[in-house]
Structures are given as C-alpha cells and as structure tokens.
Amino acid sequence: MSTEPNDIDHATEPLLQSLKADLPALEPLLEEADSHWGFEDPFYRLYHQSWKVLALQSLTLQIVEALRKHDQGRGLNDWFLEIVAAGTGRHFSPEMNRDWLNETRPILEAFFHAKTFLALAVRYAKALDHAPRLLPSGWAAVLYLYNAR
C-alpha cells in the first residue's frame, strides 16, 4: 500500500520500518507457528489430553521475544503480557488431568494471541510502504501491541 507523504504517521513509522527490516527472521517464525508441529499437533494435543500441549509454551515465548525486539522502548501491551503469563511457565503434573481445560486452554490462548500478532506484524510490514494515518484494523491491533495507539 502506497502512502502519500502527508498521510504518513511519523510516530509509528520507525516501528513499521523495524518490522520490515526484520522480516527475514519474522517470516520463518510465522511459518513455524503455522506448521504441523508448531500449531496442528499441539492443538490436537489439547483434545487428546496429552502433556505434549505444554510444548507450545516454548514457541509462544519465541514469538513474544521476536515481537519484543521492536517495542521502540514502549514495552508490549499489558493485556497481551497478562495473557502470555497465564499461558506460559506451566509444568505438567498428573493433577492437571482433573481440570484439564482450565489448565491447558491458557496455553493455547497465549499462543493464539502471539501468533496472531506475529501474523499481523508480518502482513503489514509486507503490505505497507509507510505507517499510515488512516489505519487498517490489523495494523491498528499491532500498534496496540506496541502501546503506540
């Protein structure tokens, strides 16, 4: 998407350019998050009631760190970090089986939020030449991630 010079949001332009420059690292991470082992198998493991669903936490944290590199000193959105904290740092114990969904759904929720923000960051880093003043919804969501909106 081309943007006229007067339509550029100069406050968020550095964020967009940072994401664009990091596409060679972000795109393979998104491919992994969309892959059989990155997404399909862990998703299945929730329904199979397998402890292997816990492995999804590692990829979630990788995505968070990749996104954090671009925070421009603003930090990441508090709600996002709360969701990630609730869905990471978990270790399997047999007691988890008694309340399986409440124990494991936060893991998938954290992953889905991280993966969605990564997908949006990649999509708009590829689609936008400059940070626009008139915001597509997905780019606006990315700006919320980076506390830039």
Sign of CA dihedral 83, 89, 94, 95: negative
Q: Angle at Cα 127 formed by Cα 123 and Cα 129, nearest 5°?
A: 135
Q: Map out the domains of the chain as residue ranges.
A: 10-145
Q: For position 4, what pLDDT does the model report?
A: 55
Mean pLDDT of the chain: 94
End-to-end CA distance of the chain: 20
Q: For position 7, what pLDDT does the model report?
A: 85
The three-state secondary structure class of 132 is strand
For 29-40, how does the pLDDT look when each residue is reduced to its tens digit (9 = 90+)? 999 999 999 999
Rg (CA), the chain: 17
Residue 124 sits at φ, ψ, to 5 deg, of -80, -25
Token digits of residue 139: 């780019």
String of DSSP letters for 4-51: -GGGB-TTTHHHHHHHHHTHHHHHHHHHHHHSIIIIIHHHHHHHHT-G
